[in-house]
Structure 1
């Protein structure tokens, strides 16, 4: 059997009927009659030489061969649809999908997206946020921006900017803090990275008290809790410059500690598209410009 002889209408009719388990439902979706769907599926079965459905008194059930064919066709038609969606207004819009740790997304990337879109209007960025746990291949991502030490298996990782952490809290709490040792009387909010407060107290030259505060999986959520007076958060302060400028949060001590970096992560041995290269180069240039500022991290 030559692949060129496969009936495209039959494949489309089968895929829709298999999802609905109904020729009638497939006909409504494809805007043809139930009889037309049945005829197209029968033609496909004749070409393949197998039965794709078991006809039941009250509907359809997939045969073993039909169950094998359905996911392949669904994926193929979905990929065709996604590609066709990229043609709009007579131009091809390239797409870059990026999974971003929420802190970097809200504190750095999102405020700069209008600048990127103005410079590259034909590139559509698709942003999904996460709590730093991401799988590029499984999640269908071109890139990930995440925080850590850069040692993620199967990926190439480029450092973007350091994560300089320092305590931050509501103004009324900051007003009673004179020395880092005063933090022992406060509720200390912390992330799932358990050693961050210990490392900050070491940098400040003070003993670290027992950490018994609330544990968060997101610095954004932890910062929101700190704004509302739940305690003192240890935050990457460069990601919360807006809250610090508005005095929703106060950084009571100048001491900071680097506990990791933000990285641009890509699958190893994958060739970048032109749009991916543009985005990566733009991101690296913008973060380099920020790092060069004298007050970066404060």
Structure 2
């Protein structure tokens, strides 16, 4: 069994050296274990090349079986060790989603599920549910992630916002082309589905226009706080800025709104969820349906995949 485990690591890492580091043994010990296994089976599992190794056909077959078997064992261990932690729940969300949507609603979760021991991990870096000690991840994207089951929460709309002070000082843009000449605040994300100013302007036929980006931020929260302080115009996600619009801390500055194809999803581990995860799913879906953002009037919508020509793909909704 020891030789099989060592073989699985060497096959997955495609290196005796990296397998040795992972297992905490020497490279010579890895080589001996693999050779002993090959001797026992009566055929080679690897081709020894000049500076690398390569699985034989029999080696690939055994590697796939070992990876699947060890995965089943790992899933079972996680399942039986989490039985005593059924009331614990660790949620991962981006800084923006946590700050502007999730945390303001935590008191509602507390009232609905007072026995849950909640931990919120706020980070914009990627999380892997197969590796990290996380129960639930809230993500923005297309819903296709290999590490868990994705359940759509809601889509969102994207439009320019600024502070009332900035609007009073600089005036409202006359059109999309005029908007691009204002002080624009950009934010960036590692998520490829994230929409920035270039994509937003392109949806309304101005993708090639020069933009006056006066401030760029790594975090969307920073971009919104800069807009609140009157530094310029940022892109507002409706679900994130609805309360700020309601309190008139931010105002909409154009009738144009982009509706992306991507959406927010709740992603959970594969397999049977523990009780706290099921309770959280019931709560967050009910909360999303119970508190939709306020309707936007005098609105010109465009889809994310609208043609880049002037006015292409734009649809008047309301």
Structures share fold, TM-score greater than 0.5 = yes
Structure 1: runs of 5 or more not aligned: 1-75, 87-92
Residue 295 of structure 2 corresponds to 295
Closer, same or farther: CA 253–208 of 1 in aligned 2, 3 Å: farther
Contact 1:226 1:233 in 2 (8 A): yes
Q: In 2, distance between residues paired with 1:83 and 1:151?
A: 28
Residue 124 of structure 1 corresponds to 117
Q: In 1, distance between residues paired with 2:278 and 2:265?
A: 16
Structure 2: runs of 5 or more not aligned: 1-76, 300-318
Residues 8-44 of structure 1, C-alpha deviations (whole Å, 9 max, x = no match): xxxxxxxxxxxxxxxxxxxxxxxxxxxxxxxxxxxxx
Residue 115 of structure 1 corresponds to 108
Closer, same or farther: CA 115–100 of 1 in aligned 2, 3 Å: same
Choose which of 112, 133, 140 in structure 2 pairs with 1:140.
Answer: 133
Q: In 2, distance between residues paired with 1:295 and 1:95?
A: 36
Q: In 1, distance between residues paired with 2:269 and 2:207?
A: 41
The structure with the largest alpha-carbon Rg is 1
Q: In 1, distance between residues paired with 2:104 and 2:195?
A: 30
What does 1:1-298 align with in structure 2 at a 5 Å threshold? 94-131=87-124, 133-175=126-168, 176-179=171-174, 180-192=176-188, 196-206=196-206, 209-211=209-211, 212-259=213-260, 260-268=262-270, 270-291=271-292, 295=295
Q: In 2, distance between residues paired with 1:138 and 1:258?
A: 33
Figure out how many residues of one structure are paired with residues of the other and give that number.
Answer: 211
Q: Could you list the structure 1 runs, at least 4 aligned residues long, displaced by more than 6 angstroms after superposition.
A: none
Superposition deviation, residue 206 in structure 1: 4.5
Superposition deviation, residue 234 in structure 1: 0.8
Q: RMSD of the alignment, in Å?
A: 3.0
Residue 58 of structure 2 corresponds to none
Residues 89-140 of structure 1, C-alpha deviations (whole Å, 9 max, x = no match): xxxx711110011222122211211111112111122111112632223331
Q: In 1, distance between residues paired with 2:247 and 2:215?
A: 25
Q: In 1, distance between residues paired with 2:120 and 2:296?
A: 25
Superposition deviation, residue 149 in structure 1: 1.9
Q: In 1, distance between residues paired with 2:183 and 2:164?
A: 15
Contact 2:93 2:139 in 1 (8 A): yes
